[in-house]
């Protein structure tokens, strides 16, 4: 939201109250409270009839500084609030110091410096002595709109000359957010607009720090757009809270952000295989779904999860959590047969209850549905006739919802696609726990996905829970997996999908997927095959669409060959990929990550949005052209294409042409790639007959890796170092068997194995 008109003027009807100078402070334990009046004080008389901002500085963890700016503190400040984890200890990482001209609030190696000089308000944030950003003249403010009567709090943090901003959720607009206006409001808008399903009020900078605005409402960001040298964020009300998070590097900051808001759970190994769905609005019954499964087996295409979309339930009754008896008369037996084929089962759900569903009257009778302020159940005809919302702020309602889903788990369902969660009303709404309806609009999805994920963990066990979720907010990364929403069957939509995934990765979402081939319309065979390459080389891989089936033989026979090749390759790569999944779970660094996150010192990586690192050792550049041409950037070093065996010298841009069985899939120099012996399943004993591919093209280079089992437990540690024409390798293994292979060079000897 913009409040000014150019540099000097404010917009018509807006009255600003800026922090102008330091007046006083108090220290309360590890909290610093600073008082900043709205004008320069020359004598006692100036203290009358003016406003003042009160600024609280605290620290929930080392190198994290919370800033809370308040105007009228008597205003009720309703939640919900994002769950912020407090570090163990009593704030021993905090130091507060004062000089004649400064107050210094230090957390770990990060310091907020408040300027005490008259008429010189400002807060500088430092990493050691390195300036990260600052709030200064006419930046921190309270704004009153006299036309609407609404009030807002805002902050403006400095951008450096060569500074880029990333993140703010799954955004399909350009990856670098400079110049954009971004509003935090979850909506069902597809992938082709500025609307997003997953709004996360957290951004990171290429300077290595991040900012989380701690407000679940409609936070508005102006990123070098209202003031080109500032990131502005504003919220309605009398209070604004934000966290300055300093991990020193972008990757370190993402990791620290997930320490605050929650690490991703580790998905089960089977979930990394190929998912196939019935697609949306298509006509299907058990004969259809069994035909799909048989068709994949007949073509030797490994399939691991089968998903039933909306119409597994009867129309108008979404959700009743009951199989439509006309199309699936014996669901329990059907699921048993599919399990015998080695498949896991996922079914579509959402948090909406249509009026025709028997659950509507049950939920209404017990008070489990979201109500209006007058006590009526809130209803709409959008999506399902007369539908209502489950009120997850009511613990009894959440338990009731879980009880209905447990019946499906007992029947043989393994996972849920938690669709929707964005169409949440805000006017005339009264939640069970008194939550602010505006803040609940985005936060609703957190409670929804948490409810379902916790049921899966309880019934299937920790490490066996996996969702396919569309909407999210702060902390949603704890409940994987998320997918990109409704894309179109085109190359531009494929590219915007990748941009969304890379932006979401900046908020620590470790596991992410998308609809291979696009959701809307039916892709030409060319787009389908290229999207399948990209989809298989994503953490999770699903064939899904609208109006037509997505089995590969519906496109052409070559699509079957492409799918077979890449699915089997992913299964073989699972020892490497699952190790990367464990790291995402432990450290909060996503499997699919932007190039600048992995190479923060390579300025050429900063704007890249059509390629990514798949874990720490593989570079992927999907092909977005029918011609097969692809341009991509390679960081310094000699990289090797895993598919072609060709080497590429880094620090350069490459332009290549690939057929449907190839694409840029490069092994990073200084890597050990663990590759398994199984090509038909993603869940197997990774440590049995594993091949350790050593790629050490430079003298004195060293590499390390681990191999885990399917619970994430490390069973094998590998260390290799090159000295001249020799590679010394040490393998420390609890169990398993392995062999070693050198990539790229034939004349190297391996010793001390």
Tens of pLDDT, residue by residue over 620-663, are 999 999 999 999 999 999 999 999 999 999 999 999 999 999 99
- The strand order across the sheet containing 102-107 reads 94-98, 102-107, 110-115, 123-127, 130-135
Instruction: Note the pLDDT tens digit of each residue in 61-91.
Output: 999 999 999 999 999 999 999 999 999 998 8
Confidence of residue 325 (pLDDT cuts 50, 70, 90): very high
Q: Of the residues 21, 309, 486, 526, which is catalytic?
A: 486
Residues with Cβ < 8 Å from 540, sequence gap 6 or more? 267, 271, 272, 275, 468, 481, 483, 511, 512, 513
324 is catalytic: no
Q: What is the mean pLDDT of residues 91-117?
A: 97
419 is catalytic: yes
Phi, psi angles (nearest 5°) of residue 558: -65, -35
**pLDDT per residue over 434-462, tens digit each?**
999 999 999 999 999 999 999 999 999 99
- pLDDT above 70 for 752: no
Q: Is the pLDDT of residue 750 over 80?
A: no
Whole-Å CA distances, 384 to 274, 315, 356, 413:
30, 9, 9, 24
Candidates 663, 632, 648, 411; CA nearest to 531 is 663
* Strand order from edge to edge, sheet including 647-649: 592-593, 612-614, 618-620, 665-667, 638-641, 647-649
Q: How far apart are CA 568 and CA 166, in angstroms?
A: 34
Return the pLDDT at 745: 83
CB 68 within 8 A of CB 240: yes
The answer to whether residues 187 and 422 touch, using CB atoms and an 8 Å cutoff, is yes
The CA distances from residue 93 to 96, 106, 248, 250, in Å, are: 10, 8, 16, 22
Helix and strand counts by DSSP (H, E) for the chain: 11, 48
Are the C-beta atoms of 563 and 552 separated by less than 8 Å?
A: yes
For the question of residue 486 being annotated catalytic, the response is: yes
pLDDT of residue 748: 74
Backbone angles phi, psi at 323, to 5 degrees: -65, 135
* Average pLDDT of span 526-551: 98
Mean residue pLDDT across the chain: 97
Q: What is the pLDDT of residue 12?
A: 94
Reported confidence tier of residue 749, pLDDT bands at 50, 70, 90: confident
pLDDT digits (tens, 9 = 90+) for 207-254: 999 999 999 999 999 999 999 999 999 999 999 999 999 999 999 999
Strand residue runs (E) in 495-560: 512-513, 515-516, 541-543
- Distance, CA of 135 to CA of 133 (rounded, Å): 7
Residue 321 makes CB contacts below 8 A (sequence gap 6+) with: 313, 349, 359, 404, 405, 407, 408
pLDDT digit string (tens) for 565-602?
Answer: 999 999 999 999 999 999 999 999 999 999 999 999 99
Task: Determine the Cα–Cα distance for residues 270 and 343; give it in Å rounded to an integer.
Answer: 9
Contacts of 639 (CB under 8 A, 6+ apart): 619, 647, 648, 649, 650, 666, 667, 668, 669
Place of tokens 């009020």: 201
- CA torsion 274-277-279-283 (nearest 10°) is 140
* Cα 257 to Cα 67, 588, 715, distances in angstroms: 16, 8, 29
β-pairing, 274-277 with 541-543?
Answer: parallel
Q: Tell me how far apart the alpha carbons of residues 244 and 216 are, in angstroms, rounded to a whole number.
A: 17
Q: Could you tell me what percent of the chain has a pLDDT over 70?
A: 99
Q: Taking residues 311-329, what's their average pLDDT? A: 97
Residue 327 has pLDDT above 70, yes or no: yes
- Give strand ranges (E) for 214-323: 220-223, 230-236, 239-246, 274-277, 305-308
Q: Residues near 159 by Cβ (< 8 Å), separated by ≥ 6?
A: 133, 165, 178, 224, 228, 229, 230, 231
pLDDT over 80 (residue 746) = no
If you write DSSP's letter for every residue of 436-501 in order, what string do you get?
-HHHHHHHHHHHHHHHHHHHHHHHH-TT---B-B--B-TTGGGS--EE----BSSHHHHHHHHHHH
Cβ count within 10 A of residue 208: 18
Instruction: Kindly tell me the sign of the dihedral angle through the C-alpha atoms of 359, 365, 366, 367.
Output: positive
| Total Cβ atoms within 10 A of residue 350 | 23
Strand order in the sheet with 415-418: 415-418, 344-349, 305-308, 274-277, 541-543, 515-516
Contact 225, 62 (CB under 8 A): no
Is residue 403's pLDDT more than 70? yes
Q: Which of 214, 317, 422, 464 is catalytic?
A: 422
DSSP state of 161: T
DSSP helix/strand/coil, 183: strand
pLDDT at 46: 94
Residue 459 sits at the vertex; the CA angle it makes with 454 and 462, to the nearest 5 degrees, is: 60
pLDDT score at 468:
98
Measured between alpha carbons, how far is 143 from 238 in angstroms, rounded to an integer?
9
Q: Are 473 and 501 in contact (CB under 8 A)?
A: no
Which residue is it, tokens 């409670």?
Answer: 447
Q: Is the pLDDT of residue 25 over 80?
A: yes
Q: What is the pLDDT of residue 90?
A: 85
Query: pLDDT category, 7, cuts 50, 70, 90?
Result: confident
Buried b (16+ CB within 10 A) or exposed e, 599-609: bbebebbbbbb
Residue 299's pLDDT band, with cuts at 50, 70 and 90, is very high
Q: 497 and 504 in contact (C-beta within 8 Å)?
A: no
- Could you tell me if 19 and 35 are in contact, meaning their C-beta atoms sit under 8 angstroms apart? no
Q: What is the predicted pLDDT for the residue at 673?
A: 97
Predicted confidence at residue 753, as pLDDT, reads 58
Sign of CA dihedral 189, 181, 17, 132: positive
How do strand 647-649 and strand 714-723 relate by DSSP bridges?
unpaired
CB 532 within 8 A of CB 523: no
490-508 pLDDT per residue, tens: 999 999 999 999 999 999 9
Catalytic residue among 419, 464, 526, 683: 419
pTM to 2 decimal places: 0.97
CA 717 to chain CA mean position, Å = 29
CB-CB contact of 190 with 179 (8 Å):
no
């Amino acid at each position: 939201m913009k409040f000014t008109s150019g540099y000097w003027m404010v917009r018509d009807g807006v009255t600003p109250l800026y922090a102008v100078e330091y007046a006083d402070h108090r220290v309360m334990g590890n909290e610093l409270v600073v008082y900043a009046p709205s004008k320069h004080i020359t004598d006692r008389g100036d203290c009358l009839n003016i406003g003042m901002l009160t600024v609280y500085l605290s620290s929930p963890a080392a190198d994290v500084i919370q800033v809370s700016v308040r105007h009228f503190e008597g205003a009720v400040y309703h939640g919900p609030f994002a769950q912020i984890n407090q570090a163990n200890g009593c704030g021993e990482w905090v130091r507060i110091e004062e000089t004649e001209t400064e107050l210094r609030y230090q957390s770990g190696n990060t310091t907020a410096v408040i300027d005490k000089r008259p008429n010189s308000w400002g807060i500088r944030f430092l990493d050691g002595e390195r300036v990260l950003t600052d709030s200064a003249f006419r930046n921190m403010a309270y704004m009153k709109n006299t036309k609407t009567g609404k009030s807002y709090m805002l902050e403006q943090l400095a951008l450096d000359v060569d500074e880029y901003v990333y993140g703010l959720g799954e955004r399909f607009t350009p990856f670098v957010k400079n110049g954009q206006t971004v509003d935090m409001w979850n909506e069902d808008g597809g992938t082709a607009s500025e609307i997003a399903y997953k709004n996360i009020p957290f951004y990171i900078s290429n300077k290595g720090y991040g900012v989380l605005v701690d407000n679940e409402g409609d936070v508005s960001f102006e990123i070098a757009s209202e003031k080109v040298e500032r990131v502005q964020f504003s919220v309605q009300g009398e209070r604004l809270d934000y966290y300055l998070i300093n991990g020193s590097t972008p990757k370190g900051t993402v990791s620290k952000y997930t320490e605050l808001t929650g690490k991703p759970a580790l998905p089960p190994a089977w979930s990394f295989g190929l998912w196939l769905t019935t697609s949306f609005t298509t006509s299907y019954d058990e004969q259809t779904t069994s035909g799909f499964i048989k068709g994949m087996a007949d073509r030797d295409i490994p399939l691991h999860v089968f998903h039933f979309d909306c119409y597994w339930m009867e129309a108008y009754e979404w959700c009743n959590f009951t199989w439509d008896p006309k199309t699936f008369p014996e669901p329990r037996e059907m699921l048993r047969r599919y399990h015998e084929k080695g498949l896991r089962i996922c079914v579509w759900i959402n948090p909406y209850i249509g009026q025709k569903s028997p659950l509507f009257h049950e939920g209404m009778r017990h008070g489990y549905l979201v109500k209006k302020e007058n006590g009526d159940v809130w209803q709409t005809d959008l999506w399902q006739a007369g539908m209502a919302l489950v009120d997850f702020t009511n613990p009894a309602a959440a338990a009731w919802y879980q009880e209905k889903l447990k019946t499906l788990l007992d029947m043989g369902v393994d996972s849920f696609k938690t669709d929707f969660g964005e169409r949440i009303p805000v006017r005339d709404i009264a939640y069970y726990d008194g939550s602010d309806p505006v803040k609940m609009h985005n936060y609703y999805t957190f409670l929804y996905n948490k409810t379902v994920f916790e049921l899966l963990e309880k019934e299937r066990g920790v490490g066996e829970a996996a969702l396919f979720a569309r909407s999210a907010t702060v902390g949603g990364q704890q409940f994987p997996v998320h997918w990109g929403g409704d894309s179109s069957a085109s190359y531009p939509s494929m590219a915007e999908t990748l941009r969304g995934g890379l932006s979401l990765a900046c908020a620590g979402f470790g596991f992410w997927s998308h609809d291979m081939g696009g959701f809307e319309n039916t892709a030409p065979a060319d787009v389908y095959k290229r999207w399948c390459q990209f989809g298989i080389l994503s953490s999770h891989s699903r064939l899904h669409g609208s109006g037509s089936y997505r089995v590969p033989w519906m496109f052409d026979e070559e699509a079957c060959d492409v799918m077979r090749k890449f699915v089997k390759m992913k299964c073989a790569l699972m020892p490497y990929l699952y190790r990367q999944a464990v790291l995402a779970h432990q450290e909060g660094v996503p499997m699919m990550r932007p190039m600048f996150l992995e190479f923060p010192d390579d300025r050429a990586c900063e704007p890249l949005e059509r390629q990514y690192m798949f874990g720490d050792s593989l570079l992927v550049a999907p092909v977005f052209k029918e011609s097969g041409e692809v341009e991509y950037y390679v960081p310094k070093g000699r990289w090797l294409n895993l598919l072609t065996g060709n080497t590429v010298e880094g620090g350069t841009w490459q332009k290549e042409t690939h057929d449907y069985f190839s694409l840029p899939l490069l092994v990073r120099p200084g890597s050990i790639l663990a590759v398994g012996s199984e090509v038909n399943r993603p869940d197997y004993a990774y440590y049995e007959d594993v091949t350790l591919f050593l790629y050490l093209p430079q003298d004195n280079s060293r590499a390390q890796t681990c191999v885990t089992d399917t619970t994430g437990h490390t069973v094998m540690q590998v260390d290799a170092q090159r000295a001249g024409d020799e590679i010394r390798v040490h393998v420390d293994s609890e169990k398993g068997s392995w062999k070693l292979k050198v990539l790229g060079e034939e004349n190297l000897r391996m010793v001390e194995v």
